[in-house]
Amino acid sequence: MSFNTFGHLFRFTSFGESHGAAIGCVVDGCPPRIPLEAADIQAHLDKRRPGQSRFTTQRQEPDAVKIMSGVFTDETTGKQVTTGTPIMLLIENVDQRSKDYSDIKDKYRPGHAGYTYDVKYGITDYRGGGRASARETAARVAAGAVARKIVPGLTVRGALIQMGPHKIDRARWDWNEIGNNPFFCPDAKQAKFFEAYLDGVRKAGSSCGAVIEIVAEGVPAGLGAPVYAKLDGDLAGALMGINAVKGVEIGDGFLTAAMSGEDNADEMRMGNEGKPVFLSNHAGGILGGISSGQAVVARFAVKPTSSILTPRKTVDRYGRDTEIVTKGRHDPCVGIRAVPIGEAMVACVLADHFLMQRGQMGEGTAWPFKPGA
Ligand SMILES: Cc1cc2nc3c(=O)[nH]c(=O)nc-3n(C[C@H](O)[C@H](O)[C@H](O)COP(=O)(O)O)c2cc1C
């Protein structure tokens, strides 16, 4: 009952702790002959890497990935490709500072996982949160980089759309802005505001939450299954499985509860390419648990970091009331680095469902059908 493995046909098993020697994953089920270089994975890891601005933890981890297995040179192209065997991806931890945790080793951080790990296992690696650390999410991003290569024409992009109570103005959404600020924010004006806001939060020794939106384009229609493997259900599980995520929405999500049937209906018209065109996308690209061919849109809420300098009431491992102040290096808003992690989890779910769809349906159906056929 260990549950360190994600996925079905495209699956990865992650390993490692915050202050252990290394973290990483073994990706199994990746089809053979897909070009794969460490640089393809590194590009995504570099987005999640800590210590790149004053707005994330100052832990300095290069997160340099090594492909330890599962690739070989294709003689016809001279390129490194996958072989269809397990791909082990290894990332060494180089900047652990375990002494930062000695003051709080017996105390539980309210909102962190120490108490539940102790209750469940009777032992917890308190250094940097151990297995509950976001170091583990580097493995997800690495696996996600492989997953992105499996679905032809797939693009998965993420953006931070709310920090604390402050939302972006969606009218100013510009994907090109994502790389121009330290927040993956598509609204340049609001990104400036976030700088001042998060500086205030950080200097107060506090933390704040965020909302992230992931948009997957080029998702073929037909991914997902009608009942126990709904695409939206699997996406929700995958995103909810990221540390600190407390809510997931697909499409218009909770807003749909207040809509009328007319407003919520994504009306259809026949397009020029033999495919329907939807006149809106309240459903987030998924109908009946199956992708419709529209963009798949998911949103998730990330809670504020639990490691804060403000004293909080807690108990220790020996059942005594006490207080805790968490020093050391922490993300004041974990939602920032959650953007590439969310992208990776969506890519993994889509790759998994793409392979399952291909396994069950081969080339798929010949929609639209001929009347009377
Ligand atoms: C990218 C990222 C960075 C994080 N950094 C921190 C951190 O610096 N300090 C902290 O206390 N929690 C951090 N967290 C959150 C904890 O990992 C998380 O709260 C903890 O594992 C408990 O799990 P839960 O919040 O899902 O219940 C981070 C989460 C993510 C996704």
Q: Which of 15-19, 65-69, 102-106, 359-363 has the lowest mean pLDDT?
A: 102-106
Cα-to-centroid distance, 245 and ligand 1 (Å): 9
> What is the mean pLDDT of the segment spanning 226-242?
98
Show the tokens assigned to 159.
């953006």
Closest CA to 145 of 223, 237, 244, 37: 37
pLDDT at 365 over 80: yes
Placement of tokens 């800590």 in the chain: 50
Placement of tokens 């199956």 in the chain: 290
Please give the pLDDT value at position 88.
98
What is the value of pTM for the model shown?
Answer: 0.97
Name the pLDDT band for 373 (thresholds 50, 70, 90): low
Closest CA to 87 of 148, 16, 10: 10
- Tell me which DSSP letter residue 323 carries: E
Nearest CA, atom 27, ligand 1: 244
Q: Which atom of ligand 1 is nearest to the CA of 113?
A: 22
Name the pLDDT band for 97 (thresholds 50, 70, 90): confident
Which residues does a 6 A CB cutoff place in the pocket of ligand 1? 57, 112-113, 129, 132-134, 137, 242-244, 303, 305-307, 330-331, 334, 337-338, 341
Question: Both ends of the chain: CA-CA distance in Å?
Answer: 50
> What is the mean pLDDT of the segment spanning 349-365?
96
The preferred substitution site among 17, 95, 112 for testing ligand 1, maximizing ligand atoms within 8 Å of CB, is 112
Supply the angle between the helices 136-147 and 38-48 in degrees, to the nearest 10. 130
Interval 117-142: pLDDT, tens: 999 999 999 998 999 999 999 999 99
Contacts of 150 (CB under 8 A, 6+ apart): 10, 30, 31, 34, 351, 354, 355
Do 30 and 87 contact (CB within 8 A), yes or no? yes
Interval 166-209: pLDDT, tens: 999 999 999 999 999 999 999 999 999 999 999 999 999 999 99
pLDDT at 364 over 90: no
Please give the pLDDT value at position 98.
81
Q: What percent of the chain has pLDDT over 70?
A: 99
Please give the pLDDT value at position 301.
98
Angle value at C-alpha 283, between 362 and 296, nearest 5 degrees: 55
How many other CB atoms sit within 10 Å of the CB of residue 183?
26
Please give the pLDDT value at position 1.
54
Q: Which of 102-106, 236-240, 306-310 has the lowest mean pLDDT?
A: 102-106
Do 143 and 178 contact (CB within 8 A), yes or no? no
